[in-house]
Amino acid sequence: MSINFKADCLHFKGHIPCTPHKQHGYHCADCVAYTPVSKRILIIKLGAIGDVIRTTPLVVKYKKLYPNCKITWLSWTPDILPAKEIDEILKWDMNSVLYVQQATWDIAINLDKEKEAGALLKVIEAKEKYGYVLKDNEIQPVNAMANHKFSTGMFDDVSKANTKSYLQEIFEICGFEHQGEPYLMDKHEDKGFTWNLPEGKKIIGLNTGCGGRWTTRLWSIDKWVELVKLLQEQYPAAQVLLLGGEAEDERNKEIKAQTGAAYLGYFSLAEFINLVNHCHLIVTQVTMGMHITLALGKKIVLMNNIFNPHEFDLFGKGCLDGASCMEELPASKILTAINRHL
């Protein structure tokens, strides 16, 4: 028995029926939905979650440049990526690496400096390669377009003098200029999540944690308590909502106990994203919550004390307030920033 199939179609899956067949019963021989893949593009961006989120504007760029391209993304955290916009999302494991090695690509991009990621880019077959590759047992730029981002990671003085945002740098690596392409994120509105939040009120989210790597970013409980009280006085009709993960649970309970601010607990990543999407404005330090806020297009007040402020593109949605020491950043200054956006 011969089978007529078109493996070059954007909808082709091979191991299961494609969407046009499931929806309309089409067969490949006479399928009106047949769409040849224009480019097969591989993006290797493993982690952390925030960096994965802020790399998604490249998908927007490539989809605009090659409307019928098929984008495959290899990551340690595939759950953060939006399945509606990215054709194939893979978790880094032996099965995925084997597949990526044996496939052929028009464009392959590695934006990580982990040696395993560079080693993979080295051995795969691709017409064009961008980013970082393993050479002489060390990670190195594929070409001169990756030199700037490589240098800012290598040398502290170069990093401090840098005036390019992260998006400008990664677009430059791929030979583009960032022109406002947005982050992509699934808001998880179809998951049935419900929240005990008042309707018709502005929700001001306070993301009180900063992760465990650079703890000098952490603002004290006393500062958060002061800010909550100022907000409650300034915006009595609004709801102040404390946000965070398991690491912030105790501090959020303490802030709630002292102020009466709402705290609903800590949740899965999908639930957290959906909860943030219910907020009108988020106050956060430079952490995963910042990237999620920007991906959702929410207003933001960003507190920063250790990173080059040029690194962050807030897409006109907020402002960045900084201090060399977080305890030198007063709650009143954050309130002033919030007032500008609410």
**Per-residue pLDDT at 99 exceeds 90:** yes
For residue 209, what pLDDT band results from cuts at 50, 70 and 90?
Answer: confident
pLDDT tens digits, one per residue of 302-316: 988 767 777 777 777
User: CA quadruple 11, 9, 170, 298: dihedral positive or negative?
Assistant: negative
**At residue 25, what is the residue type?**
G
Q: DSSP letter for 87, please.
A: S
Nearest CA-CA partner of 71 in 83, 248, 138:
83
User: For 160-192, how does the pLDDT look when each residue is reduced to its tens digit (9 = 90+)?
Assistant: 888 899 999 999 999 999 999 999 999 999 999
CA 101/CA 123 separation, integer angstroms: 7
Residue 279 φ/ψ, nearest 5 degrees = -90, 155
Instruction: Report d(CA 200, CA 202) in Å as an integer.
Output: 7
Distance CA 132, CA 119 (A): 9
Q: 154 or 106: which carries more pLDDT confidence? A: 106
Q: Is 339 helix (H, G, I), strand (E, B) or coil?
A: helix
Cβ-based burial of 240 (10 A; exposed 0-12, middle 13-18, buried ≥19): buried
Entry pTM: 0.89
**pLDDT given for residue 176 in this prediction:** 97
The arithmetic mean of pLDDT across residues 267-271, rounded, is: 95
- What's the average model confidence in pLDDT over 324-330? 75
Question: Measured between alpha carbons, how far is residue 145 from residues 16, 130, 173, 242 in Å?
Answer: 40, 8, 5, 42
Give the pLDDT mean for 69-92. 96
Interatomic CA distance for residues 226 and 259, integer angstroms: 9
Q: Would you place residue 77 in the very low, low, confident or very high pLDDT band (cuts 50, 70, 90)?
A: very high
* Residue 40 pLDDT > 70: yes
Cα(301)–Cα(314) distance, integer angstroms: 9
Tokens of 66: 């090659």
- Assign 213 a pLDDT band (cuts: 50, 70, 90): low
CA distance 86 to 185: 10
DSSP 269-296: HHHHHHHHTT-SEEEEESSHHHHHHHHT
Domains located in the chain, CATH noted: 40-173 (3.40.50), 203-341 (3.40.50.2000)
What is the number of other CB atoms lying within 10 angstroms of the CB of residue 310?
14
Closest CA to 173 of 218, 225, 130, 216: 130
